[in-house]
A and B are shown apart, each in its own frame.
Chain A
Amino acid sequence: MEDIIQYISENQQEFYVFILAVFVGIEVISKVPTVLHTPLMSGSNALSGVVIVGSIIVLGKTAPDNYAALTLGFFAVLLATLNVVGGFAVTNRMLEMFKKKPAKK
Chain B
Amino acid sequence: MILYIIDICYLVAVVLFILGIKLMSHPDTARRGNGIALSGMILAIVASFFTPGLNNIILILVAMALGTVGGLYFAKSVKMTAMPQLVSFFNGMGGAAAALIGLVEYGDLPVDEVGKGAVLMASLVIGSISFSGSMIAMGKLQGVIKDIRINKMLGFTILAVAVALAVYIIASGQPQPVLVYVVVLLALVYGLAFVYPIGGADMPVVISLLNSLTGVTAATTGLLYDNKVMLMGGILVGSAGLLLTLLMAKAMNRSVANILFTSFGTAAGG
Residues of A participating in the B interface, judged by any CB pair closer than 8 Å: 3-4, 6-8, 10-11, 14, 17-18, 21-26, 28-64, 69-70, 72-99, 103-104
Chain B residues whose C-beta falls within 8 Å of the C-beta of A23 in the assembled complex: 239
Whether A53 pairs with B230 at a CB distance below 8 angstroms is: yes
Whether B214 pairs with A53 at a CB distance below 8 angstroms is: no
Residues of B participating in the A interface, judged by any CB pair closer than 8 Å: 17-18, 20-22, 24-28, 30-31, 33-35, 37-38, 41, 44-45, 48-49, 51, 53-57, 59-60, 62-64, 66-68, 70-72, 74-76, 78, 80, 83-84, 86-87, 89-91, 93-94, 96-98, 100-101, 103-105, 107, 114-116, 118, 204, 207-208, 211, 214-215, 217-219, 221-244, 247-248, 251
Main SS of the interface on chain A? Answer: helix
Chain A residues whose C-beta falls within 8 Å of the C-beta of B107 in the assembled complex: 69
| Residue from B35, B64, B98 in contact with A54 in the complex, judged by beta carbons closer than 8 Å | B98
| Residue from B63, B101, B218 in contact with A50 in the complex, judged by beta carbons closer than 8 Å | B218
**Chain A proximity of B218: nearest CB distance (Å):** 4
Q: Give 14 pairs: A residue, B residue, CB < 8 Å, sorted on A.
A: A25-B241, A28-B18, A40-B240, A41-B208, A50-B44, A51-B98, A53-B44, A54-B101, A57-B54, A61-B55, A62-B55, A74-B62, A79-B96, A79-B97
Chain A residues whose C-beta falls within 8 Å of the C-beta of B64 in the assembled complex: 77-78, 81
Whether B251 pairs with A34 at a CB distance below 8 angstroms is: yes
Whether B90 pairs with A61 at a CB distance below 8 angstroms is: no
